[in-house]
């Protein structure tokens, strides 16, 4: 089911590729995207903010949170990151904003076991270097569906994942 959802959102985001029109990413714009992740063991949620520094370069940050466990234990992961992205505005696609980039963040991992009374932070907290591939499909000039694919290569949380969200173009 999750693969079908990811495929559907990817088709939605990329379907505007054949349509020529005005760029959706422009210098001085500010974007805010509440988002949720697609995951089998926990549903991460968070917020992305991005400022269009130039007609193609965006800078910003994301904070994501994961919480999971059962009646005996609980885990949490909070992941703030700073990011830079390159937007492919030269493709001139109506209603579509495709981008790629990288981010550097710090994963804050915490574990609590009720049966032994232990609470605290264990290993696996640390720096995370990641890559980002994403796209937005605009339904209106200020509201878009967002799909971000990401991977990390540094730290105890390597792997790949996806988030979907709604982007609000505020400026």
Strands 159-169 and 30-38: antiparallel
User: So what's the pLDDT on residue 128?
Assistant: 87
Distance CA 74, CA 42 (A): 12
Residue 21 has pLDDT above 60, yes or no: no
Whether the CB-CB separation of 78 and 62 falls below 8 Å is answered with no
Whether the CB-CB separation of 168 and 151 falls below 8 Å is answered with no
**Average pLDDT in the 62-79 region?**
87
User: So what's the pLDDT on residue 171?
Assistant: 83
Weakest-pLDDT range from 5-9, 35-39, 46-50, 51-55: 5-9
Whether the CB-CB separation of 2 and 40 falls below 8 Å is answered with yes
Terminal Cα-to-Cα distance of the chain (whole angstroms): 36
Whether the CB-CB separation of 109 and 77 falls below 8 Å is answered with yes
Range of the structural domain that residue 100 is part of: 2-169
Question: Number of folded domains in the chain?
Answer: 1
Residue 7 has pLDDT above 70, yes or no: no
Q: Supply the pTM of this predicted model.
A: 0.78
User: So what's the pLDDT on residue 118?
Assistant: 59
Share of the chain above pLDDT 90, in %: 50
Distance CA 40, CA 98 (A): 26
Distance CA 97, CA 85 (A): 12
Q: Which residue has the higher pLDDT, 38 or 1?
A: 38
Q: Which residue has the higher pLDDT, 156 or 30?
A: 30
CATH of the domain at 8: 2.40.160.20
């Amino acid at each position: 089911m999750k693969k079908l959802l990811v495929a559907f959102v990817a088709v939605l985001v990329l379907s505007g590729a054949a349509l020529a029109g005005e760029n959706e990413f422009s210098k001085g714009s500010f974007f805010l995207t509440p988002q949720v992740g697609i995951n089998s063991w926990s549903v991460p949620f968070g917020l992305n903010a991005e400022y269009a520094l130039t007609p193609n370069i965006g800078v910003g940050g994301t904070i994501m949170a994961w919480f999971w466990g059962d009646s005996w234990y609980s885990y949490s992961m909070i992941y703030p990151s700073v990011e830079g992205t390159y937007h492919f505005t030269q493709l001139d696609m109506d209603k579509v904003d495709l981008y790629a980039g990288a981010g550097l963040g710090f994963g804050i991992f915490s574990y609590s076991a009720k049966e032994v009374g232990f609470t605290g932070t264990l290993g696996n907290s640390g720096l995370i270097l990641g890559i980002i591939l994403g796209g937005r499909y605009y339904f209106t000039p200020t509201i878009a569906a967002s799909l971000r694919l990401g991977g990390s290569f540094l730290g105890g949380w390597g792997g790949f994942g996806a988030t979907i969200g709604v982007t609000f173009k505020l400026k």
